[in-house]
Amino acid sequence: MEIMKAVLGLEDGQYVVGEGFGVEGEVAGELVFNTQMTGYMESLTDPSYFGQILMFTFPLIGNYGVDTQNFQNPNVCALGCITKEICEKPDTSPSIRTFFEEHELHGLTGIDTRALTIKTRVYGTMRAALVVGSEDGEYAVQLAKKAPDISDITPIPQVSCKKSYHIKGKGKRIAIIDLGIKRNMITSLSRRGGDLHVFPHDATPDKILACKPDALFISNGPGDPKQAKAAIACVKYLVGQLPVFGICMGTQISALAVGGDTYKLKFGHRGANQPVRYTDGRIFITTQNHGFAVDAESLPDGCKVSYTNVNDGTVEGFENEDLELTTVQFHPEAFGGPRDTEMHFFDSLFRRIA
């Protein structure tokens, strides 16, 4: 097999050359890392990675092939994949290499991902460019420097549904603002009987109220939450009229809607081992994927931080009982076991609107 070269260039001038997989081409965007040891296809198909080049810190991906049943979106949403090694002969087919070739995706392997991760943790997230089919590092660096900042792009319209749709259920009626919703969120709501009405990111309050919902749910999504202006305005109008629940970007949108503020984290939280502390002292190990956070000091009176990140003290969820507003920054639908936050969050949601 002929080895195809590829190069990753960073905006600070560094570049690394390795082996390309997938097809020739070039992409540019923010380089982020994920610390999960499994679930690589769930991450690659997570719409929250849209506009980003995803690097895995675990040295090997692909050992169990491509498990399409766990896709969070029908398509790979990350711009490209960076890894130290890919498994060429997995237990099941197809392999990562075959999948990337068939779907015309871009990947780079055979480089020191640990060194790049350490650099990101020290200097913060950087813009990068992946060029597959070339080893011209200077060209890749120039592409990286020209890439727009994550806060200057509006990726949500590209991952949100284009028109509203209905998933029938026998229970409470839930209106959903789709900012790039993961499939597991739909599954967790449907499993509890939710009658789901899913709306595009720019749905107006009157369209949402027309379905006579029992609650409003705001999904995850990519990019800077402040770019989701239509969703912020919609939630601002509806909060206090309906119980509101949000996950990940849904937390940030809710905070902005009630007058709070958000900010960009140095390198974000992306992985399956982030500890959060609930107000009652319990610790949960959570899955996370976000590069922005809610400023706790900016939350108005009546809002109470309900979860905090044990590692850095950032907001992992807040509540406002008077407004019936409940949010979490982590992903309870991405639970690793039966006693994790999936039951804690979604069961609580349905109890509150019973």
- Catalytic option among 11, 106, 331, 342: 331
Residue 197 is among the residues annotated as catalytic for this protein: no
Contact 176, 217 (CB under 8 A): yes
What residue type is assigned to position 301 of the chain?
Answer: D
Contact 271, 330 (CB under 8 A): no
Q: How many CA atoms lie within 13 A of 62 on its CB side?
A: 23
Write out the DSSP string of 66-115: --GGG-SSSS--BSEEE-SEE-SS-SSSSPHHHHHHHTT-EEEESS-HHH
DSSP state of 266: E
Q: What is the largest CA-CA distance in the chain?
A: 64
Q: Omega into 94 within 30° of 0, i.e. cis?
A: yes
Residue 331 is among the residues annotated as catalytic for this protein: yes
- Catalytic option among 248, 290, 316, 319: 248
- Catalytic option among 11, 30, 319, 333: 333
| Terminal Cα-to-Cα distance of the chain (whole angstroms) | 60
The catalytic residue positions are 248, 331, 333
